[in-house]
Amino acid sequence: MFREMRRFKQQVKDEECVRVLKEQPRGVLSMLGDDGYPYGIPLDHWYCEDNGRLYFHGAKEGHKIDSITRCDKVSYCVMDEGWRKEGEWALNITSVVVFGRIRFVTDPDLITKIGTNLCRKFTNDEEYIRHEVEFALPRAQCLELIPEHITGKLVNES
């Protein structure tokens, strides 16, 4: 169902994919948009190690919500900041692409957990997190991406 990586020598292990998903705060969620055009948007995410799923939050209406309602198949791409070998100009970048199905989260306890963990990716200010979860989160739609295939690779941009 999913293609094998063409440049398989650049493929990274599953553990490296998980590291990138855990450490990086954002990526691009791509879906089938209006009139068959691809639609990709940058989003913050939280990777839950307990179940291997990705979680997002955003507006309760709009292009993203309409697209997901029509077709639940999505991909999500994340890349790290890269690193340079001493004396070289080119970055070595690990990218991860997650293919899967996305759904709307309705469980109030899970919504609170998602909001709390998304906030913790950016701050450890518990008062701020509590305020966001109490006042901002009820206005947001939480989403759960259930991976069907995850692949990652390390590329040198030279």
Identify whether 148 is part of a domain.
Answer: yes
pLDDT digits (tens, 9 = 90+) for 77-131: 999 999 999 998 999 999 999 999 999 999 999 999 999 999 999 999 999 999 9
Residue 122 three-state SS: coil
CA distances from 84 to 19, 126, 153 (A): 19, 36, 16
CB 34 within 8 A of CB 69: no
What is the residue range of 99's domain?
8-106+142-156
Identify whether 74 is part of a domain.
Answer: yes
Identify whether 22 is part of a domain.
Answer: yes
Question: Residue 145: which pLDDT band, with cuts at 50, 70 and 90?
Answer: very high
Question: What is the tally of structural domains in the chain?
Answer: 1
The residue-averaged pLDDT of 40-51 equals 98
CB 28 within 8 A of CB 76: yes
Identify whether 41 is part of a domain.
Answer: yes
CA angle 24–105–107, rounded 5-degree value: 120
Identify whether 114 is part of a domain.
Answer: no
Identify whether 136 is part of a domain.
Answer: no
CATH number where 34 lies: 2.30.110.10
Partners of residue 98 on adjacent β-strands: 76, 150
Identify whether 84 is part of a domain.
Answer: yes
The residue-averaged pLDDT of 35-61 equals 97
* Mean per-residue pLDDT over the chain, rounded: 95
Identify whether 56 is part of a domain.
Answer: yes
**H runs (alpha helix) in 5-139:** 14-23, 63-70, 108-120, 126-131
